[in-house]
Structure 1
Amino acid sequence: MVKQVRAARTRQALIVAAAEIFADVGYASATLPAISKRAGVSSGALHFHFATKDSLAAEVEAEAAESVRELADRCRSEVDTSLQALVDTTCCLLLVLAADPVVRAGFRLSGDPSRPGEAEMLNWWRTLVRDLISQAERAGELARDVSPEAATVAIVAATFGFQAAGAADRAWLAAERVAQFWNFVLPRLAASPDHGLVSTVARDDLGGWSE
């Protein structure tokens, strides 16, 4: 039992260390020796858990995806409209990107041209945004002249733009910046001018943002 606990801690330390390095320098520049050093474990321990850098990157991306799925599910369960769920999920995601290196690395790894594989997190996020926008349209929450496809493109592009800018300057992931984005976009999207940025999920779980 003690060995299993120690092994689990070592594995998680490697995932976090790898995430920090992937988030900082990208997949191509990250090295296994640097990751093992950051985690405080031997190279042999690293190779016991992860045979290759790609297998470690895949685990980081999988853990990031699971965290974001749980976040999205929680946001959707706490509000009454699909449009508010989209606002809350986006705001919470960007705040988590600022705080969680695993989620940050997961998005940076997604679609990294130096890494084999598909852009899984990007594709998943685009699907989630499109589904929420489509649900909002069916419920009459969108303004009549809003194209669901155009709205999806704009929100996905903005989300990844925040993530990319935040990699260079963490201020781009600040709560105030996220609020500015939605204060600008939401009046264009929403059928009702009364649709605001009130978010119980974000305030209670992540400290809130300026409105």
Structure 2
Amino acid sequence: MVKQQRAARTREALVQAAAAAFDCVGYEAASLAQVSKSAGISMGALTFHFPTKEQLAAAVQARGACVTRTAVEKITTEQDRPLRSAIELTLEVARLLDEDVSVRAAARLTRECPNAAPSWTSVWLPAVGDLLDRASQDELRPGADPQTILTLTAHLITGTENYIRRCASAPEQRESAQDQLYRVWQVVLPGISQGPCPVI
């Protein structure tokens, strides 16, 4: 039992260190030696748990996807206001990108290793699409196409990630990504929402 706990702690430390490395320098530039040194764990222990960089990247993507999936499941359980839920989900994704290195790493790895699974975007974007489809029945303004709004959402989250990375050297001097995205939605909502804008 003690041996299993020690192995779990080692694996956790390696995934965290790898997430930081992939987030900072990307898949190609990150090295197993860098991850080993950052985690304070020998290269032998690293390759025992993760024989290749691809397997380590997959573990990081799985971690980021798991964190994001938990948020998706929590928000999508609310059934009565799908448009509000869709926007709340994007705001939560923005918060996770801002605060969780495994989520940022998963987002970057999805771009840099497109054939790897799970794709981080596939965890949350289809859920937003489902909510927007449901909202189209009575919450969206006539002519507001759910697919177009979904495309806008994908661009907004990409922009959010770029904003976070651009300001990475001085995060305390910038507005939170969630607050910035909230203000963007306040501009967008009157153009897509039928009747009073949903309170978010």
- TM-score, normalising length from structure 2? 0.90
Letter in 1 for 2:195: S
Cα offset, 1:116, TM superposition: 5.8
> Does the CA contact (< 8 Å) of 1:15 and 1:59 recur in 2?
yes
Segment drifting more, 174-183 vs 18-27: 174-183
Give the 3 Å change call, closer, same or farther, for CA 79–92 of structure 1 in structure 2: farther
Match in the other structure for 2:188: 185
The CA deviation at 1:174 is 3.1
Q: Give me the whole-angstrom Cα distance separating, in 2, the residues matched to 1:73 and 1:103.
A: 16
Query: 1:64-111 CA distances to partner (integer Å, 9 max, x unpaired)?
Result: 111111101111225631111111111111111111100110111102
Contact 1:143 1:191 in 2 (8 A): yes
1:18 and 1:56 in contact (8 A); partners too? yes
Q: Distance in 2 between matches of 1:34 and 1:149?
A: 42
Aligned counterpart in structure 2 of residue 159 of structure 1, from 157, 160, 171: 157
Q: How does 1:12-51 map to 2 (within 5 A)?
A: 12-51=12-51
Identity of matched residues, %: 36
C-alpha deviation, 1:37, in angstroms: 0.8
Answering whether residue 8 of structure 2 is matched by residue 5 of structure 1, we say no
Hey, what's the Cα distance between the residues in 1 that align with 2:162 and 2:107?
9
Distance 1:53 1:160 in 2: 25
Q: RMSD of the TM alignment (CA)? A: 1.7
Equivalent residue pairs, number: 194
Q: Residues of 1 paired with 2:86 and 2:114: CA distance?
A: 30
Select between 115-124 and 159-168 the one with higher mean Cα deviation: 115-124
Moved over 6 A (4+): none
- State the one-letter code of the partner of 1:44: G
Gaps of 5+ in 2: none
3-state DSSP of counterpart to 1:26: helix
For residue 59 of structure 2, what is the aligned residue in structure 1?
Answer: 59
Give yes or no for contact 1:126–1:156 (8 Å, CA) kept in 2.
Answer: yes
Post-superposition CA distance 1:43-70 (Å, at most 9, x none) = 0010010011111101111111111111
The 8 Å contact of residues 111 and 122 in structure 1, kept in 2 or not, is answered as no
The whole-number CA distance in structure 1 between the counterparts of 2:64 and 2:82 is 23
The offset of 1:121, in angstroms, is 1.7
Q: Single out whichever of 66-75 and 161-170 deviates more from structure 2.
A: 161-170
TM-score by length of 1: 0.86
Distance 1:59 1:129 in 2: 25
Q: Which residue of the partner structure matches residue 168 of structure 1?
A: 166
Change (3 A) 1:117 1:11: same
Give the Cα separation in 1 of the matches to 2:66 and 2:77: 17
8 Å contact from structure 1 (residues 97, 173) kept in 2: no
